[in-house]
Amino acid sequence: QSNQSAMADVGRVGSLDLRYRRDGSRTILATSRCSTPWHFFPPAYLDDSGCAVTSLVNPSGGFVAGDHLSIHAELDEGAHVVMTTPSANRVYRSLGEESRQSVTLSVAPGAVLEWFPEVTIPFAGSRFVQTMAVTLAKGATALIWDSLASGRVARGERWGFTSLCNEIDLTLASGGRRLERYQVRPEQQ
């Protein structure tokens, strides 16, 4: 039995692959592929800038124990993309298995990527690991927003999650690298 099918027994293994290119005055989605649970809406164009606004959708409502989900996006030269989610990223309770998300973003010269998902909310007892690798070519721009809520405060779950690990790894065209890594394991009361 393959490692991937073994993981599928305890969670979902899903991927989203997107490639954007500039076509005249507009950025278009050149190729796309997704597997459950990922879906996406076709890009929206909110003004005359040609920026492709893409909403990434996980219709299951969040991450459950054992999920291994990935997002891979490439922006060709001159493309401009905003990537967002329609609602918060919920991470549900787990009795042992972590849920994982891996994001890989590649931005070509002159391209602009704006990564603005809604806040991540780790519910009580949840275990979540997220890694993000961003590669920027010379003259590329990436605006990365990563936000975390302390849990469902109204339900008395503030800092009630089991663990949360996050890593953002930014590689520049010069070979320079910036790494932000944090791990939060609140004490349970």
User: What is the per-residue pLDDT across 95-119, written as a single tens digit (0 to 9) for each?
Assistant: 889 999 999 999 999 999 999 999 9
- Give this prediction's pTM: 0.89
Residue at 121: amino acid letter: I
User: What is the per-residue pLDDT across 144-170, written as a single tens digit (0 to 9) for each?
Assistant: 999 999 888 888 888 999 999 999 999
**Which residues, 6 or more positions from 6, have their beta carbon under 8 angstroms from its beta carbon?**
none
| Gap between the Cα atoms of 40 and 34, Å rounded | 8
**Measured CA angle at 36 (ends 50, 6), to 5 deg:** 140
Q: Quick one: which of 113, 104, 106, 122 has its CA closest to 164? A: 122
